Amino acid sequence: MGSEFPICKACDNNGNLLPLSDFGSQGAPIHYKAWVCSVPSCGYNIKIRNGDVYINEPISSGDSHVPRTRG
Ligand SMILES: [Zn+2]
C-alpha cells in the first residue's frame, strides 16, 4: 500500500525503518546514514559511522541539550 520502507523486524508493531540523512563536516549531504524504527516504543535503529555499522545505539533527542545553570 505504498510503503516503500523496509519492515522493522525487531518489533511486532509493523513498524517501518525510516531513513535519516545527515550532513558531513564539509556540508555534503549523507543520505540514509541511519535507519530508525517508526515505532517510538521500539526504538530500533541502525546507523553507519566511518564505515562501521552501529545497531541499537541509545537515541538522544535534541532536547537533552539543556544549558547549565548555576545555583
Ligand atoms: Zn521496530
Average pLDDT over residues 11-38: 89
How far is residue 42's CA from residue 19's CA, in Å, rounded to a whole number? 16
* Residue 20 near residue 33 (C-beta atoms within 8 A): yes
Structure confidence by residue, pLDDT tens digits, 25-41: 899 988 888 999 999 88
**pLDDT band of 45, cuts 50, 70, 90:** very high
The per-residue pLDDT for 61 is 65
The per-residue pLDDT for 40 is 87
CA–centroid distance, 42 to ligand 1, in Å, is 5
The per-residue pLDDT for 57 is 85
CA–centroid distance, 68 to ligand 1, in Å, is 34
CA–centroid distance, 71 to ligand 1, in Å, is 41
CA–centroid distance, 19 to ligand 1, in Å, is 13
Domain edges within the chain: 1-58
Mapping DSSP to helix (H, G, I), strand (E, B) and coil, where does residue 64 land? helix
How far is residue 59's CA from residue 50's CA, in Å, rounded to a whole number? 19
